[in-house]
Each structure stands twice: as C-alpha cells, then as structure tokens.
C-alpha cells in the first residue's frame, strides 16, 4: 500500500492541508507513527500527540484547529469523521492482505463438498462430506467445516475455527481464531440414581450475514430447531451462547458474557463484558446492560440501560449505591435504626 495524500483524500472524501504529494506506506498509531505513516486523531485526549508525531499524514476532523505549532512536514487530511475514515483505510489495507486463492496441499476437501470460486483453503483445513463453501471464502490453517455445513460468500474463518454439522454461516462474516459454531448444547436430564443422561442436541446454529464472532467464542447448537445470530451481530472474544438462544440484529456483546439457553435478546442491544443472562428470558430491543451485571428476569421495556446484580434500571442502581455509601458512613446506632426503618414491618399470625 503506497498512496499520496491527494489519493487518500479522494478515497475518503476529504481535503488536504499540506503537501498533497507526500506518500504513505503504512498505518500507525499517532503516538508511535514514523515517517511514511498515516494516522488519525478522533479522541481529544490524544491531541497532544499531533504536535510531536512523526507521521507524514494525520486524518483529522474538518473543523480541527491546532492549539500549537504542528510539525513542519506534517500533512493533515481533513474529513467529516476521522474514526470512520480511518476504519475505511483499515478495510482497504485488509483487502490487500487477503490470502491468494487456492487449496494448500495439506488440506482435506471431501469429494462430495462444494467449494466456490476464488477461495483460499489453508494448511490442515478439513472440509467434510456435503459441506458448501461460497465464493471468495478464506479458510485459514486448521479450520474444520463439518458435514453439511454452509459458509456464505466472502466470509473469513481464521485459524482453528470449527463450524460443525449442519450449521450455517452467512455472507461477509468474520470468525476469529478458535471460535466454535455448533458445539453441543448443555443438555442433561437427571436420573433416579443421581447421575445424568445426555440429551441429544439435534438442531444447528444459523449465523446470518455480516456477523463478527471473536476468538474462542462458542455458540451451541439447538436441542431442536436453531440457535440464531441475526444479521450484523458483533460478538467479542470468550463469549458463551447456549442452545436455542436468539440474538437480534446489530446487537453487540463484549467479552466473557454468557447467555443461558432459550433466551431471546432483541435487536440493537449493547451488552458489556462479563454479563450473565439467565435462561428462558426476553431482553427488549435497544437494551443496554452494563459490565458485570446479572440478568435473572426478563427486561421488557425497550431502550433502557441496566446495571447491577440483579440488573435494574441504571438510575435505580445508582440511587441504591449512593444510599449504601451514606449508610456505611453513619454511626452504628443510626445505621441500625435506618435499616430497621427500611425493612417492612413483621407480619404476626392472627390467633
């Protein structure tokens, strides 16, 4: 990748302030960039770095006005949204790095599998009987696509991904290293002798188009029917999605969250890290759940923010936390009195 500032301006619908012919070859963070690099400034906390950066080009907001002298050889590329513009550059750079098409000699592709045009199938990949691989798919080293699974066009499966029997991954998805789609749901029935009988998990997982799944995230197949990630879902690393869960369109979930079986999460939800959500619940569209919250009952009102364990609307949680801090600072006798006043009156049985 080597482009001039003026070429980048055309790509990003921006304007150049400085040398339009300066050439850049790499992308870098503003605080550590060197000559020949392009970086960006979107967060005001990083503005201090623009006055000392070694980058050749920095993407800034169209209304950016420096508060001190800029490096003499720095060129600014002014755009409406620097963060989004830099993301477009990253996409273009990633496209350059795409693997060349072809099948590595150590890959195993069953004669009854279908592989589309322009695919890259890396070392140690296994594609089993009946699997269908779309066009321009990338299967990196040691990916395993099991029987009758389907992978949509332009999807990338990074090293060690498993897409197991009959599961479906849509178009333009990215699965990071070690993700597992279609592992057995956690289904066991107690027996009279205290042991457990395995309940067969006969369903599958459907991941719709434009979903991203993080490293070592696991999505369990349904007992019956399908576990579903709808279009545009974004899952971070180390997430557990249990059997028969449905996650709505464009929902984003941060790392180490777990969702128990048969829960339905609405569209456009934002779920923080280490959230635990119980089984057979409903989470309304547009819900936001703060990190480390525990959800043990359905959240049925759309668009609210929740926090705590059990999760409650965030204002209620904050009120409780303020009251708790005040309580801790009280003298012991006042504290006991306050607690007694807050408790409901005891109910005495009638004689």
Active-site annotation, residues: 243
List CB contacts of 331: < 8 A, sequence separation 6 or more. Answer: none
Do residues 202 and 223 lie in contact, with contact meaning Cβ atoms separated by under 8 Å?
Answer: yes
Instruction: Show the tokens assigned to 276.
Output: 């635990």
Distances (CA, A) of 107 to 101, 120, 286, 303: 13, 11, 43, 47
Distances (CA, A) of 59 to 39, 50, 51, 74: 6, 10, 14, 11
Radius of gyration of the chain (CA): 26
């Amino acid at each position: 990748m080597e482009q001039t500032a003026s070429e980048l301006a055309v790509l990003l619908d921006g304007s150049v302030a400085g040398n339009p012919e300066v050439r850049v070859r790499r992308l870098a963070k503003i605080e550590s960039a060197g000559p020949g690099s392009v970086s960006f400034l979107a967060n005001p906390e990083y503005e201090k770095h623009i006055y000392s950066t070694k980058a050749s080009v920095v993407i800034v907001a169209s209304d950016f006005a420096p508060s001190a002298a800029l490096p003499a050889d720095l060129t600014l590329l002014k755009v409406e949204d620097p963060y989004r513009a830099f993301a477009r550059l990253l996409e273009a750079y990633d496209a350059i790095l795409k693997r060349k098409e072809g099948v590595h000699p150590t890959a195993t592709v069953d004669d009854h599998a279908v592989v589309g045009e322009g695919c890259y199938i890396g070392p140690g990949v296994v594609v089993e009987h009946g699997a269908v691989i779309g066009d321009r798919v990338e299967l990196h080293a040691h990916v395993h696509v099991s029987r009758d699974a389907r992978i949509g066009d332009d999807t990338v499966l990074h090293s060690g991904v498993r897409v197991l029997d009959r599961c479906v991954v849509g178009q333009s998805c990215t699965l990071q290293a070690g993700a597992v789609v279609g592992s057995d749901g956690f289904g066991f029935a107690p027996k009279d002798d205290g042991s457990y009988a395995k309940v067969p998990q006969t369903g599958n997982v459907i991941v719709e188009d434009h979903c991203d799944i993080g490293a070592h995230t696991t999505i369990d197949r349904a007992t019956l029917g399908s576990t579903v990630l709808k279009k545009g879902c974004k899952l971070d690393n180390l997430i557990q999605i249990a059997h028969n869960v449905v996650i709505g369109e464009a929902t984003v979930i941060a790392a180490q969250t777990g969702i128990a079986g048969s829960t339905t999460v609405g569209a456009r939800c934002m779920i923080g890290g280490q959230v635990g959500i119980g089984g057979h619940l409903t989470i309304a569209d547009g819900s936001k759940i703060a990190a480390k919250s525990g959800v043990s009952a359905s959240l049925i009102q759309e668009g609210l923010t929740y926090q705590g364990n059990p999760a409650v609307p965030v204002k209620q949680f904050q009120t409780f936390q303020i009251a708790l801090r005040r309580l801790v600072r009280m003298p012991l006798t006042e504290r006991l009195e306050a607690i007694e006043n807050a408790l409901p009156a005891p109910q005495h049985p009638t004689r």
